[in-house]
Amino acid sequence: MWQRIRLEPSRFFLHLAVLLIVAAWTLPTAGLLVSSLRDKDLIATSGWWTALTTTERSEQARMKPPADQVQKDGHSEISGNLFEGTDHAGQISAFGTRVQNPAEFSAGATAQLQDGRSLTVNSDGSYVYTSPTAFTGDRGQRVFFVTSVPPKFTTDNYRTVLFSEGIGRSFINSLTVTIPATIIPILIAAFAAYALAWMKLPARGFIIAVIVGLLVVPLQMSLIPLLKIYNATGFLSKTYLGIWLAHTGFGLPFAIYLLRSYIAGLPKDLIESAQVDGANDFKIFMRIILPLSFPALASFAIFQFLWVWNDLLVAIVFLGSGNDQLVLTGRLNALLGSRGGNWEILTASAFVTIIVPLVVFFSLQRYFVRGLLAGSVKGG
């Protein structure tokens, strides 16, 4: 009983740490989701955590020009609505005629201005501007005001992303690149991992050390040498075969290391029993090793799929940036414009790109932890 009581504080801190980690991963994702459903102007003026509250923001508009004035009760008058021609949904809470003080007067009040002029701006945007003399000039008077905007959500951002020109073609391009670039490394690495784990090869330890060393080599260092090789061949540059081979080369070191650690941890007696029964290495690999190694294969498939699907650099370098070659990440990046300030497009694009990886992850997630623990208990 006392032992159980002593352990409870440590469990409390463990649960607290897990909760903090989950929050650290979940809150940014929730912020992206909320921002993807908000209006562009709201994203620019307030944070996503204010999405369910009324937001105040400063704006400006011009009244009608002096050409629209009318004579009424011995004075000139210009009337209209500041929201005319827009789909503004907010209510004006205050207004002013100077940018330094947009909340100088309350909505509905009459502001006494210079030269005997007066201005009344109501909460719905309607206004009346009067003067004892005729208005002159070509442009209308500017009005600064503060609006209270209620919570508003829209799917326009997703419509912009999903129905933009070329998005369907780019989606197919991404699938065409990602699926083979995930399967090919698995096929090669599985055979190599079995050989390094259970077959007697000369310099096996040296080969494993080289593979571990390749894990820390940045892929950017190999881009120029690979491009020179591709250009020399004449048939790999800007082709799907070329980018499949590039992703295979980049993913093989980690794939071999992960699968070798898992396969080496399989029961030795099982392999020896199959050899005594007369099974050769190929039969052992196909009938015993592959079925038992599915968790490790699934774990690497998740990692490789996510990396290739979200890749932009390798796709542009080895496949190209033409309309018929651009992958989904490249197409969505092009939607941001030259300055990259369209945050509403960026947030919606983020969720569009994660739909397929989420399907892959949740379909294989039961094998994920088992694959990550590959070789952690027993090694060969």
Q: Cβ(207)–Cβ(201) under 8 Å?
A: yes
Residues 181 and 228 in one domain: yes
Query: Looking at the predicted structure, is the pLDDT value of residue 268 above 90?
Result: no
**Residue 80 shares a structural domain with residue 140:** yes
Q: Give pLDDT, residue 373.
A: 55
Q: Which of 12 and 281 is assigned the larger pLDDT? A: 281
Rounded to an integer, the average pLDDT of 7-15 is 71
In a domain, 46, yes or no: yes
Select the more confidently predicted residue: 159 or 3.
Answer: 159
Arithmetic mean of pLDDT, 62-68: 91
Among 109, 130, 150, the domain-final residue is 150
Same domain? 104 vs 63: yes
For 133-163, the pLDDT digits (tens) are 999 888 888 999 998 888 888 888 888 888 8
The answer on 235 and 338 residing in a single domain is yes
pLDDT in tens, 358-368: 888 888 777 66
pLDDT tens, 210-252?
A: 998 888 888 888 888 888 888 888 788 888 999 999 999 999 9
Residue 377 within any structural domain of the chain: no
For residues 120 and 174, state if they share a domain.
no
Q: Give the pLDDT band (50/70/90) at residue 339.
A: very low
**Residue 39's pLDDT is what?**
83
| Number of domains the chain is built from | 3
Mean pLDDT of the chain: 85
CA 45 – CA 61 distance, rounded (Å): 17
pTM for this entry: 0.71
Give the confidence band of 340 by pLDDT, cuts at 50, 70, 90: low
Is the pLDDT assigned to residue 13 strictly greater than 50? yes
Same domain, 264 and 124: no
Q: How large is the average pLDDT for residues 63-89?
A: 87
**Is the per-residue pLDDT at 312 higher than 80?**
yes
Which residues does 208 contact at the CB level (< 8 Å), separation at least 6?
196, 260
Give yes or no: residues 69 and 211 share one domain.
Answer: no
What is the predicted pLDDT for the residue at 179?
94
Q: Is residue 80 part of a domain?
A: yes
Q: Supply the pLDDT for residue 5.
A: 46
Q: Residue 371: its pLDDT value, please?
A: 55
Residue-wise pLDDT for 78-115, tens only, equals 999 998 878 776 789 899 988 888 888 999 999 998 88
Q: What is the mean pLDDT of residues 162-177?
A: 87
Residue 378 lies in a domain: no
In this structure, are 280 and 299 located in the same domain?
yes
Task: Write a three-state SS string for the chain.
Answer: CHHHHHHHHHHHHHHHHHHHHHHHHHHHHHHHHHHHCCCHHHHHHCCHHHCCCCEEEEEEEECCCHHHCEEECCEEEEEEECCCCCCCCCEEEEEECECCECCCEECCCEEECHHHCEEEECCCCEEEEEECCCCCCCCCCEEEEEEEECCCCCCHHHHHHHCCCCHHHHHHHHHHHHHHHHHHHHHHHHHHHHHHHHCCCCCHHHHHHHHHHHCCCCHHHHHHHHHHHHHHHCCCCCCHHHHHHHHHHHHHHHHHHHHHHHHHCCCHHHHHHHHHCCCCHHHHHHHHHHHHCHHHHHHHHHHHHHHHHHCCHHHHHHCCCCCCCCCHHHHHHHHCCCCCCCHHHHHHHHHHHCHHHHHHHHHHHHHHHHHHCCCCCCCC
Over the stretch 270-305, which tens digit does the pLDDT of each residue have?
Answer: 888 888 888 888 888 888 888 888 888 888 888 899
> What dihedral angle (degrees, nearest 10) is formed by the CA atoms of 183, 377, 379, 250?
30
The rounded percent of the chain whose pLDDT value lies above 90 is 26
Give the pLDDT of residue 102.
86
Asked if residue 68 is part of any domain, the answer here is yes
* 126 vs 350, residue with greater confidence: 126
Owning domain of residue 43: 2-51
List the structure tokens of 77.
Answer: 């008058």
Residue where a domain stops, chosen among 131, 150, 169: 150
Out of 37-51, 54-68, 84-98, 332-346, which region has the weakest mean confidence (pLDDT)? 332-346
Is 70 in the same domain as 205? no
Is 380 within a domain?
no
Query: Which CATH number goes with the domain that contains 207?
Result: 1.10.3720.10
Task: Mean pLDDT check: name the lowest of 9-23, 59-73, 236-250.
Answer: 9-23
Domain boundary pick from 51, 72, 92: 51
107 and 166 share one domain = no
Does 23 share its domain with 92?
no
Segment 153-176 shows an average pLDDT of 87
Question: Does residue 379 lie within any of the structural domains?
Answer: no
